[in-house]
Amino acid sequence: MDIQKINTEYEKASAVAFLQWALKNFGASKITVASSFGAEDVVLIDILMKLDPSVRIFTLDTGRLNEETYQVMDRIRSKYKINIESYFPDRQKVEALEKQKGFFSFRDSIDNRKECCAIRKVEPLQRALKGFEAWVTGLRRDQAVTRSGVSKIEVDAANGGIFKLNPLADWSNDDVWAYIRKNEVPYNKLHDAGYPSIGCEPCTRAVKAGEDIRAGRWWWENPEHKECGLHLPKK
């Protein structure tokens, strides 16, 4: 597959057109959607459920999500009449981490934070992606400095070389919300409370006026470190 050619061809194409291409080339049974049920993710679910409702949707339930996140998951499940597969972290690893380092070790250092993310997110993701040829994400270039180089299609070396599809790579935040309002897509109510980006409850806060949209994620770290390991910037 010529990745560069596909990116050139679909750079200006709509998210719908790109996902239609993906469904045709991979097949619905070989594509999966990783959803944290933020604004971008619910947009993708709405688009895909209109194109092919058999596409599998999964989430990484870290055990430390906000109640509002579970609420929107249930609204999505009800609206589209779909099953959402939850992947949990390894119990023994979580128990060992909390026993050895306490419940907020991720705030002590970047290494500790990445260790927590590796247990609660990265390893479950690897299990969730087994058997698939491509996974769909809600990454956008203007979300963060670590995401400015995102392409519509990439090879995900960290997950066995499967393809990573980013249909909204060229969308703006305004594009996302215009779609949600026009299509009446259920969304996380924390967005209305000043949370443009939502992760685990203890690692996410509302942003202040004028702050970057990812400022509320791991706010004690510098912007160039703000990835959990699911999405690593290109080198």
Q: What was the pLDDT predicted at 231?
A: 47
Residue 175 exposed, middle or buried by CB count within 10 Å (0-12, 13-18, 19+): middle
What is the DSSP pairing of strand 84-87 with strand 56-60? Answer: parallel
| Dihedral of alpha carbons 59, 211, 166, 188, sign | positive
Q: Answer left, alpha or beta for residue 52, where phi above 0 means left and psi between -120 and 50 means alpha.
A: beta
> For residue 155, how far is the Cα from the chain centroid?
16
* Low pLDDT (below 70) residues in the chain: 144, 146, 223-235
Structure tokens at 169: 């790579």
Instruction: Round to whole Å and give the CA distance between 212 and 196.
Output: 9
Residue-by-residue DSSP string for 34-64? E---SHHHHHHHHHHHHH-TTSEEEEE--S-
3-225: CATH number: 3.40.50.620
Q: What was the pLDDT predicted at 219?
A: 78
Phi/psi of residue 62, nearest 5 degrees: -75, -15
Catalytic site residues? 228
Q: What is the pTM of this model?
A: 0.89
Q: In Å, what is the CA distance from 9 to each residue of 5, 13, 75, 148, 227?
A: 6, 8, 35, 19, 29
Enumerate the domain spans of the chain: 3-225
Measure CA of the first residue to CA of the last residue in the chain; give whole Å.
Answer: 21
Q: In Å, what is the CA distance from 17 to each residue of 13, 52, 84, 178?
A: 6, 13, 24, 18
